[in-house]
């Protein structure tokens, strides 16, 4: 199940475990640019191209969680995903 809010915010909820599994932010709601975020987060654990959404992605480890930064081919921030592993 997921809940979506104005200004590009959504979270995904697992009804069985009663835990939030993912938080998503649209790029337009983030004030930092992708370069600043990537510098702050350091070296990604994974990166590549998502052909379905036609976006580049980089994944970063944050403890037991993963933060994914999705950017368009023009380098614009598209979405940030914060997920439980």
69/51 Cα distance (integer angstroms):
15
- Per residue in 34-67, pLDDT (tens digit) is 888 889 999 999 999 999 989 999 999 999 999 9
Note down the domain range covering 52.
2-84
Q: Is the predicted pLDDT of residue 71 greater than 90, yes or no? A: yes
Counting the structural domains of the chain, the total is 1
Q: pLDDT tens digit string along 40-49?
A: 999 999 999 9
Provide the total of helices (H) and of strands (E) in the chain, helices listed first.
1, 7
Predicted TM-score (pTM) of this structure: 0.84
pLDDT value, residue 53: 87
Q: What is the 3-state secondary structure (H, E, C) of 22-85?
A: EEEEEHHHCCCCHHHHHHHHCCCCEEEEECCCCEEEEEEEECCEEEEEEECCCCCEEEEEEEEC
Query: pLDDT at position 22, please?
Result: 96
């Amino acid at each position: 199940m997921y809940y979506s809010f104005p200004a590009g915010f959504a979270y995904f909820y697992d009804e069985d475990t009663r835990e939030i599994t993912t938080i998503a932010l649209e790029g337009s709601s983030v004030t930092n640019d992708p370069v600043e975020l990537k510098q702050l987060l350091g070296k990604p654990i994974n990166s590549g191209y998502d052909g379905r959404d036609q976006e580049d992605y980089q994944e970063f480890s944050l403890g037991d969680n993963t933060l994914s930064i999705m950017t368009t081919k023009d380098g614009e921030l598209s979405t940030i995903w914060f997920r439980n592993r």
